Amino acid sequence: MSIALSALRAAQRLALVGAFTMLAVSTHAPARADEAPSIAAAADLRFALAEVAELFRNQTGHSVKLVFGSSGNFFTQLEHGAPFEVYLSADEAYVKQLAARGLTRDEGTLYAVGRIVIFAPTGSPLEVDGNLAGLAVALNEGRIERFAIANPEHAPYGRAAREALLALGLWHNIEQSLVLGENASQAAQFAASGSAQGGIVPLSLVLRPEVADRGTWALLPESLHAPLRQRMVLLKHAGAVADKFYYFVQEPAARAILQRYGFVLPATN
C-alpha cells in the first residue's frame, strides 16, 4: 500500500512539474522559422502569456516562441546579444537599462503590475494569512524547514518576497530555511509540489487551478514591497511578427487575460 501511495504522489508531483514546464508556444510549429520570433518573458507570465500567444496565433496565424526565466538573467543575456526580439520583464528597471545602452527601440511600455502571495501546500504546518502572522508562529515553533522564494539576486519576485519578509521582521529567522528557485516559476513549483512547506510566489502562478487546488494562499499587501512594475520592449533587431505580438499584448483581449491572472493593468493611452 505504501509503495502504491508513493507512486501516486510521485505521479502527482510529475503532473505538477508539467504545468510549470517551459513552454515553446505554440502547440503547432510555425510554417517558417523566421515567423516564430523568440520572446524572453518573466517566469510569472508562464500561464498568462501562453494563453495570449495562443490567442495571437489563432487571430493572426503567426506563432511565437516563449522562453520563460528570471528577468535578471534575461537582462544579462540580452546585454551579450541573445537573439530575443521582445523582452517582457518583471522589473522595468532592466528594460530602461537596456534602452540606455541602445539595445532596444525605445523604453518600451508598462504592461502590468504584479502581486505576491504566501502559499502553503496541503498538509503543511503553515497557516497562511496576509500579514504573515502564521509564518511567524511556525518559525518560532521550529515548524518551517524549507520555504521557497525566487532568488532575489536576479528575480524581481524574489526581491519582493525578501522585502516583505524584512518589513515584517522575519527575514533573519527564515533565511537559513530558504529554498531559492532560479525564477518565480520554480519557486512556485517547490511550494506547490510539497518540496517546501510554503513559499512567497506570484499571484499569477497560483490562480491556475492545478496549482490552487494543491494548497491555500493569501495575498500580501502591496505596502510590504516595492511595486512590481512590469515593462516590455522590442529589441533593436525585432522583426515584423515580434512587432505585431508586442502590440497585441497591449490590446483589450490580451489585457483581459493578464487581468484574469491577477495582474494590475496600467491605464491605456
Q: Each residue of 188-242: pLDDT tens digit?
A: 999 999 999 999 999 999 999 989 999 999 999 999 999 999 999 999 999 999 9
Specify whether 103 is located in the same domain as 18: yes
Specify whether 219 is located in the same domain as 244: no
* In a domain? residue 267: no
Specify whether 109 is located in the same domain as 119: no
Specify whether 168 is located in the same domain as 247: no
CATH number of the domain within which 141 lies? 3.40.190.10
The larger pLDDT score, comparing residue 247 to residue 12, is at 247
Instruction: Using a pLDDT cut of 70, give the percent of the chain over it.
Output: 87
Instruction: List the domain range (segments joined by +) for residue 153.
Output: 114-224
Specify whether 236 is located in the same domain as 252: yes
Q: Each residue of 64-107: pLDDT tens digit?
A: 999 999 999 999 999 999 999 999 999 999 999 999 999 999 99
Q: Is residue 62 over pLDDT 50?
A: yes
Segments in the chain forming alpha helices (H):
2-20, 46-60, 71-79, 92-100, 133-140, 156-167, 171-174, 184-193, 203-206, 209-212, 240-248, 252-260
Q: Is residue 6 over pLDDT 80?
A: no
pLDDT at 239: 96
pLDDT at 264: 97
pLDDT at 113: 98
Q: Within 13 Å of residue 129, how many CA atoms lie on the same side as its CB?
A: 10
Q: Are 29 and 64 in contact (CB under 8 A)?
A: no
φ/ψ of 130, rounded to 5, equals -70, -20
pLDDT at 24: 40
Cα separation, 4 vs 235, in Å, equals: 51
Q: Is residue 150 over pLDDT 50?
A: yes
Domain count, the chain: 2
Specify whether 90 is located in the same domain as 144: no
Q: Which of 19-28, 104-113, 130-139 has the least mean pLDDT?
A: 19-28
Neighbours of 145 (CB within 10 A): 11
The model carries a pTM of 0.87
- With 0-12 / 13-18 / 19 or more C-beta atoms within 10 angstroms meaning exposed / middle / buried, residue 240 is exposed
* In a domain? residue 17: yes
